[in-house]
Structure 1
Amino acid sequence: MEWTDQAIVLSTRRHGETSAIVSLLTRERGRHAGLLRGAGSRRLRGVVMPGNEVRASWRARIADHLGTVHVEPAMSRAGFIMDDAARLAALSSACALLDQGLMEREAHPALYNATAVLFDALAAATDDWAEAYFAWELGFLAELGFGLDLEKCAGDGRRENLGYVSPKSGRAVSLEAGAPWREKLLPLPRFLVGERGRPIANHPRTDLADAAQLTGHFLERHVFSHESKGMPAVRGRFVEILLREITTSGDLNP
């Protein structure tokens, strides 16, 4: 059994003296692992950093086996992010969510493409990369069958003045309909319902905090509820770094 595919590196785990088990998000085959020989060499060490894109060739005698993988560099993103704590934490968070939240060997080509777009935004330090990150988490939930309905109010059907989300149904609620129960509802950030593209410095801190709370709630509830450790800790660290840097500097861009 063998295949070749485009892939994004999610994680590496040392195996023996010179090899590593590499977890990849492939375009056509979903999350897939393989043994990479010589992973600790100078040539490969920088290639298999999380977030980098590679051309991967996998081979095994039997399809169910771990198999071995050979990689060639396709696009290096990690080097453009390493010096920025917030963007590096965002990349690490997304990789961990994919690595721990996806079933192995289930194809998600749309998610692969969305992840590549997000990582390109992180590497380029676009003004709206933090918006893009939380929009990506919404897409991740939708890809796994847990999409939120943010188009109209669950109570009165209105599409205007949406301000909350039901923590149970994942449906939007208007400011008017949700007012009596607002303490029990999740705030809905404006940039998740159409007002996208503003630089991070122009966002109220609460917008990004609310986005982190919203997507985090449904990730915990639907994707990581079966995990004894819950959601990957790196996701929480990313949110802490993001909100701290907004508070101290007001701008995350170089």
Structure 2
Amino acid sequence: MHLRAEAIVLAVRAHGEHGAVVRGFTRDDGVQPGYVRGGRSRRLRPVLQPANTVLGDWRARTGEQLAALTVELVTSRAPLHAEPLAAGALEWLTALTAAALPEAQPYPRLHDGLTGVLAAIEAATAARDWAGSLVRYELLLLAEMGFGLDLDRCVVTGAADGLAFVSPKSGGAVSQAGAQGYEARLLALPPFLRAGGATDWPAIFDGLALTGHFLTRDILVDRRAPALAARERLVERLHRAVA
């Protein structure tokens, strides 16, 4: 087994006295784990920060063996780890992706989506500039994992207009008319998730509540549940920042 590709670093786990097991997200070959000799060294620690992009070279005698991995830095996002909101976003995005995706299965749309969110965080002057993109990435991940929401038509009336809510059970959109009397039982559907474009903080928090419900119910369960702690920290920081 030999693979050479660019990868987004998702997770780094200490292994042995000096090494590290690294999970990198490649566009065409999905999540690939590998053992990096000296991965905890002073030289490699800055390279192996989650959300960095590296050029990886994986080599193993068999497909079942953990590959030996060497890395070269392509894009460092180290400065973002000094900013609390951006650092929280990087921690959550990489933790979510690492927890949700099976290994060695390609998800090019998710790779492109994650690359886009990371670029938005790098380019933004304020958290509101990237928070909507983060919610859309969560929505994309749900769809790619087979838990996509149906936001095209109202599940009650069949109408395509006036969609304002989502059923927490079915994941289907509900119009204002179809929700009468049941609004308190439904999740708000912020317009930017259907129409795109700029948004405001109330809509962003509505979006986070919406995707958070389905991520918690359908994706981050059992052994994957600890990743939710990173999301809770991020949402708390966002609330404090706009209070």
**Structure 1 length-normalised TM:** 0.90
Partner-residue secondary structure (3-state), 1:42 = coil
Tell me, yes or no, if the aligned pair for 2:100 and 2:224 is still in contact at 8 Å: no
Distance in 1 (alpha carbons) for counterparts of 2:68 and 2:156: 53
Match of 1:207 in 2: 203
Identify the residue that residue 73 of structure 2 maps to in structure 1: 73
Question: Hey, what's the Cα distance between the residues in 2 that align with 1:217 and 1:178?
Answer: 19
Structure 2 equivalent of residue 118 of structure 1: 117
Task: Report the secondary structure of 1:45's partner residue.
Answer: coil
Take 1:165 and 1:87, find their aligned partners in 2: how far apart are those partners? 29
Aligned to 1:23, the other structure's residue is in SS state strand
- Tell me the residue number matched to 2:48: 48
Identical residues among aligned pairs (%) = 39
Offset of residue 195 of structure 1: 4.6
Count residues in correspondence.
241
Give the whole-Å Cα distance in 2 for the aligned partners of 1:242 and 1:78: 20
Deviation at 1:17, TM superposition (A): 2.2
One-letter code aligned to 1:152: R
What is the distance in 1 between the residues matched to 2:77 and 2:160?
38
SS state of the match for residue 238, structure 1?
Answer: helix
Q: 2:214 — aligned with what?
A: 218
2:166–2:187 Cα contact (<8 Å) kept:
yes
Q: How big is the shift at 1:156?
A: 1.7
The Cα shift of 1:231 comes to 4.8
Does the 8 A contact of 2:5 with 2:55 survive in 1? yes
Over aligned residues, Cα RMSD in angstroms?
Answer: 1.6
Matched to 2:130, the amino acid is W
TM-superposed CA distance for 1:124, in Å, is 1.4
The amino acid across from 1:6 in the alignment is E
In 1, Cα distance between the equivalents of 2:196 and 2:8? 30
Instruction: Indicate the SS of the match to 1:66.
Output: coil
Tell me the secondary structure at the aligned position of residue 71 of structure 1.
strand
Where do 4+ consecutive residues of structure 1 move more than 4 Å?
none
2:190–2:204 CA contact under 8 A, matched in 1? yes
User: Which ranges in structure 1 are unaligned for 5 or more consecutive residues?
Assistant: 248-254
DSSP-derived class of the 1:179 partner: coil
TM-score normalised to the size of structure 2? 0.93
Deviates more, 1:160-169 or 1:186-195: 186-195
